[in-house]
A and B are shown apart, each in its own frame.
Chain A
Amino acid sequence: MPYLELTDIGASYGSKPVLAGVSLSLERGEIASLIGPSGSGKSTVLRVLVGLLTPSGGSIRLDGKPIDVGNTATIRDLRRRFAIVFQQYNLFQNMSVLRNVMIAPLKVKHRPREECESEARRLLAQVGLGDKLHAYPDQLSGGQQQRVALARALALRPEVLLLDEVTSALDPELVAEVLDAIRLLAAEGMTMLIVSHEMGFVREVSSQVVFMADGRTVESGPPAQLLDNPRTPRARDFVGKILRH
């Protein structure tokens, strides 16, 4: 039984349909990557999983149990298990780096302050920002902000980490530092669902790659198969365009 199973998920922003049949399954400890052209709905899948968008159809099962997406308590439970890192970091601009990482464990999970602070310090050191604890987000580079966002997500002790194009907004020379931090998590066995355009990275860390187009999951498989020998024409076309250069 897979840990997370999406079946035929549909969703729309207002009257504009964005997902029209997304199915995927994820095991504990697995790293799956969503790839596909811009506008294919990859990020939307992650937004559905953290309750920022309510699906209009399909089913989500977690540990075999169906999730009622209309239920506030269920959504809160989803958010306890899944932590998301956004493309634009979405750090709280009014808080120092340390407070950004501590705030949710302290105020939402009501853990003791000392514990929150020492864990935040440990996580920030882990992503290489042990010396930036008291800086504010607008004093940091994009790569540094994204690593703070990563530490903030980890401080929630999620079961699954959702990464939404976390390197897309970064200058090329800053991409590596963020990917290195993620590699470290992969090595620790963190379950992750990644939306990324970094094909080399996707190939390296993923156990499963899912190709999406026009709001649907078209094909999935191990990276070697999907990236080198896709079965469907659409995936072949996409991979051909991406890997050519």
Chain B
Amino acid sequence: MFRALQQLHEFATSYNLLLLLEGGARTLVLSAAGCVCGFVLGFALAVLRHTAAGWLLPARILGVVYVEMFRRIPFLVTLFLVFYAFQALGLDVPVFWVAVASTCVIGTAYLSEVVRAGFAAVPRAEWDAAATMNFSLLQTLRFVVVPQAWRVVVPPAFAFFLSFIKDSALASQIGVVELTFVGKIFNNRGLMPAIAFGSVLIAYFVISYPLARLGARLEGRLALSRAH
């Protein structure tokens, strides 16, 4: 007990806190980048899969293969794939950017399915009506589909973001100094695991909890706006 208190005193240096803060920032940026980039590219992919033009068929098939593949590969494997892909291309990219690229790859695959489910939630009949009125695909999306689909899209997209904050811990495996890696550093320095990983645990909570509350509030607002 005395040792624990003594270690806690040793631990509470500005250097360690800075390390924790930096790790936390990397974890947050990693997941947020994956989600933002994944949402943009995933949206584009979902739109692509809704096109009908014959010359886009190869792109549509590639899109399906991409989504089905990266939703099934573990994140750790994706990390190594991207890592070695950069090496094979002869690009000397810092591991942090390798991790960001990986979260984008995974985020795109998952969120394109979330967006696609949102599109599918808008009745076929409204798509048909828009088509017969000569709306283009983008006009149909902008005026009819997206305003109705976002209620279906936001909750699972947010859940994905939150779970991704935890999954990004795997980036420590390729040497990204995010929260989990910081915990390992503390541990290696001889701090007791309870303090080394306990501090990391608290940091994860501090990041996730406000986001979870924000998500819950957003969902509450969606439920309200449905009953107009």
> Does B147 make an interface contact (CB < 8 A)?
yes
Q: Cβ of A108 and Cβ of B133 under 8 Å apart?
A: yes
Interface window among B5-13, B27-35, B123-131, B177-185: B123-131
Main secondary structure of the interface of B (DSSP, over half): helix
The interface centre, meaning the residue of B132, B133, B135, B143 with most chain A CB atoms within 10 A of its CB, is B132
Chain B's interface size range is: 10 to 19
Closest to A92 in B: B144
Known A-B contacts A86-B125, A86-B128; A94 and B133 likewise in contact (beta carbons under 8 Å): no
Main secondary structure of the interface of A (DSSP, over half): loop
> Does B187 make an interface contact (CB < 8 A)?
no
State the Cβ distance, B88 to closest chain A Cβ, in Å: 41
A88 and B147 alpha carbons, distance in the complex (Å): 21
> Which A residues touch B123, using CB under 8 A?
90
> Which A residues touch B148, using CB under 8 A?
93-94
Q: Cβ of A84 and Cβ of B132 under 8 Å apart?
A: yes
Q: Which of A79-105 contact B (CB under 8 A)?
A: 79-80, 82-84, 86, 88, 90-95, 103-104
Q: Which of A100-157 contact B (CB under 8 A)?
A: 103-104, 107-108, 136, 156
Closest to B131 in A: A52
Q: Cβ of A92 and Cβ of B143 under 8 Å apart?
A: yes
A84 and B144 alpha carbons, distance in the complex (Å): 18
- Residue from B125, B143, B144 in contact with A88 in the complex, judged by beta carbons closer than 8 Å: B125
A104 and B128 alpha carbons, distance in the complex (Å): 14
- Residue from A51, A82, A94, A103 in contact with B131 in the complex, judged by beta carbons closer than 8 Å: A51
A103 and B133 alpha carbons, distance in the complex (Å): 10
> Does B213 make an interface contact (CB < 8 A)?
no
Interface string of B109-141 (1 = CB under 8 A from A): 000000000000001011011111111000100
Q: Which of A52-97 contact B (CB under 8 A)?
A: 52, 76, 79-80, 82-84, 86, 88, 90-95
Q: Which of B137-155 contact A (CB under 8 A)?
A: 139, 143-144, 147-148
Closest to A80 in B: B134
A104 and B144 alpha carbons, distance in the complex (Å): 11
A104 and B135 alpha carbons, distance in the complex (Å): 7
Q: Cβ of A90 and Cβ of B129 under 8 Å apart?
A: yes
> Which B residues touch A50, using CB under 8 A?
131-132
Q: Cβ of B139 and Cβ of A52 under 8 Å apart?
A: no
> Does B228 make an interface contact (CB < 8 A)?
yes
Q: Cβ of B134 and Cβ of A92 under 8 Å apart?
A: no
State the Cβ distance, A163 to closest chain B Cβ, in Å: 13
Known A-B contacts A76-B134, A79-B134, A108-B134; A86 and B129 likewise in contact (beta carbons under 8 Å): yes
**Which residues of B does A touch, CB under 8 Å?**
123, 125-126, 128-135, 139, 143-144, 147-148, 228
A-B interface, 7 closest residue pairs, ranked by CB to CB distance from nearest: A90-B129, A104-B133, A90-B125, A94-B147, A50-B132, A79-B134, A108-B134
Contacts A92-B143, A108-B139 aside, 7 further interface pairs with beta carbons under 8 A come to A50-B131, A52-B131, A83-B132, A92-B129, A93-B126, A93-B148, A94-B144
Give me 16 A-to-B residue pairs in the complex whose CB atoms sit less than 8 angstroms apart, sorted by A's number: A51-B131, A84-B132, A86-B128, A90-B123, A90-B125, A90-B126, A92-B129, A92-B130, A93-B126, A93-B148, A94-B147, A95-B143, A103-B143, A107-B143, A108-B135, A108-B139
